[in-house]
């Protein structure tokens, strides 16, 4: 599995889960994942202002408001991507959230 693929002017990230905060709160896991997304996008010549689309999976959809508060603090106002958020069984019980994004590169 590739964590990141760059094709032309698009950056595709695989679904990201928390490592250090696995088993912790959905807020802590979301913060960790968004920090990783920032790092991966920077490596590909992009950043969060260029995210076009995001998909978020929550192990417990009741955690939506808590995750969304962290998400809203991360996105740049006026440059929010399209987004879908669904409840789903994740790869392991320690994971509360998984996030995948597609972003543009360049200007």
pTM of the model: 0.96
- pLDDT(16) > 70: yes
Give the largest Cα separation in the chain, rounded: 40
Q: Going by C-beta distance under 8 Å and a sequence separation of 6 or more, which residues neighbour residue 39?
A: none
- pLDDT(8) > 80: yes
Which domains are seen in the chain, by residue range?
4-104 (3.30.1330.40)
Q: pLDDT band at 107, cuts 50/70/90?
A: low
**DSSP sequence for 70-105:** HHHHHSPTT-PPEEEEEE---SSTT--EEEEEEEE-
Mean pLDDT for 19-47 is 97
- pLDDT(1) > 90: no
For 61-94, how does the pLDDT look when each residue is reduced to its tens digit (9 = 90+)? 999 999 999 999 999 999 999 999 999 999 999 9
Q: Which two tokens stand for residue 8?
A: 């032309």
Residue 63 region, left (φ>0) first, then alpha (ψ -120 to 50), else beta? alpha
Mean pLDDT for 93-107 is 94
């Amino acid at each position: 599995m590739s964590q990141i693929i760059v094709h032309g002017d698009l950056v595709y990230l695989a679904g990201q889960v928390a490592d250090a905060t696995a088993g912790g709160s959905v807020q802590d896991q979301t913060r960790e994942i968004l920090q990783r997304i920032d790092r991966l996008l920077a490596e590909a010549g992009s950043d969060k202002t260029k995210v076009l689309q995001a998909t978020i999976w929550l192990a417990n959809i009741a955690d939506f408001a808590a995750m969304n508060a962290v998400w809203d603090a991360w996105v740049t106002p006026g440059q929010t991507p399209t987004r879908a958020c669904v409840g789903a069984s994740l790869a392991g019980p320690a994971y509360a959230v998984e996030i995948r994004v597609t972003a543009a590169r360049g200007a």
